Amino acid sequence: MQLRKCCNHPYLFLKNYDDISYNEWIIRSSGKFELIDRILPKLKRFGHRILIFTQMTHLMDIMEAYFDYRGVRHLRLDGSTKAEDRE
């Protein structure tokens, strides 16, 4: 599990996710987030819609912080999402 956390994002080792900072370090501290940061603007420019799967809900918290930082409109689908929002 610890290796999975390392591979996804080092912020997963934080005890409190309120400590996530909305700056470039959310991107620069993870290779996966750097790749998403490069690919996402190109996909949006050509009108693509993006669907990202993850098994960790804590990683979704970090991705939400990233999307908020970049101003990307997003919808999180997990067990806590209301049925009317899923439609």
Residue-wise pLDDT tens digits, 52-83: 888 888 888 888 889 999 999 988 888 777 77
**71 Rama sector, left if φ>0, alpha if ψ -120 to 50, beta otherwise:** left
Residue 61 belongs to a domain: yes
Identify the domain containing residue 35 by its residue range.
Answer: 22-71
Number of domains in the chain: 1
Structure tokens at 3: 């290796």
| pLDDT given for residue 47 in this prediction | 92
Is residue 80 situated within a structural domain? no
pLDDT of residue 37: 94
- Say whether pLDDT at 18 is over 80: no
User: So what's the pLDDT on residue 85?
Assistant: 72
- Kindly state the tokens that stand for 35: 């790749």
Determine the average pLDDT of the residues in 16-27.
74
Q: Flag whether 67 is in a domain.
A: yes
36 found inside a domain? yes
Per-residue pLDDT tens over the stretch 25-59: 888 888 888 999 999 999 999 999 998 888 888 88
Tokens of 5: 């956390």
Amino acid at 68: D
